[in-house]
């Protein structure tokens, strides 16, 4: 199937979806705790599978046996900000090497619940950790030989007022070390995400997460279709 899409520059490009199937695609899902991003990963996976793509769903911190062990420390054990950042990036390195890069080489679609934007939002903006140090770790961990810095091809940022997110969390589950932070922390995290989105608008697409679940799902599919990742004929 082929169709025309209009880029941000206004130019027309012909997209061949059969050819796209041979290329790996990396999509991350971001947002403050309670934004509901995780609820839409399964629906997005189903949409890609219906379009004939093989899908890998994963998460951060985590995604490998080693990274899942580090996740338990990060979410539950007290530690200083540098230790926290080092553990996050150690988990990310193993995740990239063991899961993400092999899947992309196979031509799969990788759907990841959080990636590096979360580190800059939570550890950087939320904790107030030095973003220059985070940037250095980002380059050390994510630079691939001959490919440059590995970033998602598309990041879906689920935007929700921190007060509404806190209300959702209070009704959902027992909070972990991050979810139990005060509202001011999540406001800083929200602002950190906004800064990342403003710095890289071509990669990050915002999705209003305060709407009903089905409305948000349709918004996600609309972004994927507009970017040429899914055919417009998909329901």
DSSP conformation letters of 55-118 = EEEEESS-SSHHHHHHHHHHHHS---HHHHHHHHHHHHHHHIIIIIHHHHHHTPEEEEE--HHH
Bridge pairing between strands 25-30 and 12-16:
unpaired
Instruction: Report the CATH architecture of 24-226.
Output: 3-Layer(aba) Sandwich (3.40)
Distance between CA 36 and CA 209 in Å, rounded?
7
pLDDT at 18: 54
In contact, 57 and 67? CB cutoff 8 Å: no
For the chain, which residues score pLDDT lower than 70?
Answer: 1-22, 166, 168-180, 233-235
- In our burial notation (b when 16+ CB lie closer than 10 A, e otherwise), range 87-123 reads bbbbbbbbbbeebbbebbeeebbbbbbbbbbbbbbbb
Residue (of 58, 53, 59, 52) closest to 75 by Cα position: 59
pLDDT at 73: 95
For the chain, give every domain's residue range.
24-226
Residue (of 105, 95, 108) closest to 141 by Cα position: 95
In contact, 28 and 117? CB cutoff 8 Å: yes
pTM value?
0.86
pLDDT at 22: 66
Phi-psi region of 10 (alpha: psi -120 to 50; beta: other; left: phi over 0): left
Bridge pairing between strands 154-159 and 25-30:
parallel
Helices (H), ranges, the chain: 17-20, 38-50, 65-76, 81-95, 101-106, 116-119, 131-142, 162-170, 183-199, 213-226
CA dihedral (65, 68, 70, 75) in degrees, to 10, reads -170
Pair of tokens at residue 62: 């985590």
pLDDT at 146: 86
Q: What are phi and psi of 100, to 5 degrees?
A: -65, -55
pLDDT at 37: 86
pLDDT at 12: 35
């Amino acid at each position: 199937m082929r169709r025309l899409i209009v880029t941000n520059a206004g130019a027309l490009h012909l997209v061949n979806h059969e050819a796209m199937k041979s290329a790996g695609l990396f999509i991350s899902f971001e947002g403050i705790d309670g934004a509901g991003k995780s609820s839409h990963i399964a629906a997005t996976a189903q949409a890609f599978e219906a379009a004939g793509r093989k899908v890998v769903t994963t998460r951060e911190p985590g995604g490998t046996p080693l990274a899942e062990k580090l996740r338990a420390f990060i979410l539950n054990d007290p530690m200083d900000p540098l230790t926290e950042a080092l553990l996050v990036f150690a988990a990310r390195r193993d995740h990239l090497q063991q899961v993400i890069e092999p899947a992309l080489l196979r031509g799969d679609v990788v759907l990841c619940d959080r990636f590096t934007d979360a580190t800059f939002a939570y550890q950087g903006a939320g904790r107030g950790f030095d973003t220059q140090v985070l940037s250095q770790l980002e380059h050390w961990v994510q630079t691939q030989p001959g490919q440059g810095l590995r970033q998602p091809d598309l990041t879906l940022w689920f935007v929700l007022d921190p007060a509404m997110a806190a209300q959702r969390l209070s009704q959902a589950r027992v909070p972990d070390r991050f979810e139990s932070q005060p509202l001011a922390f999540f406001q800083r995290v929200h602002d950190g995400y906004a800064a990342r989105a403003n710095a890289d608008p071509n990669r990050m697409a915002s999705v209003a997460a305060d709407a009903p679940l089905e409305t948000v799902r349709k918004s996600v599919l609309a972004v994927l279709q507009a970017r040429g990742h899914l055919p417009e004929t998909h329901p």
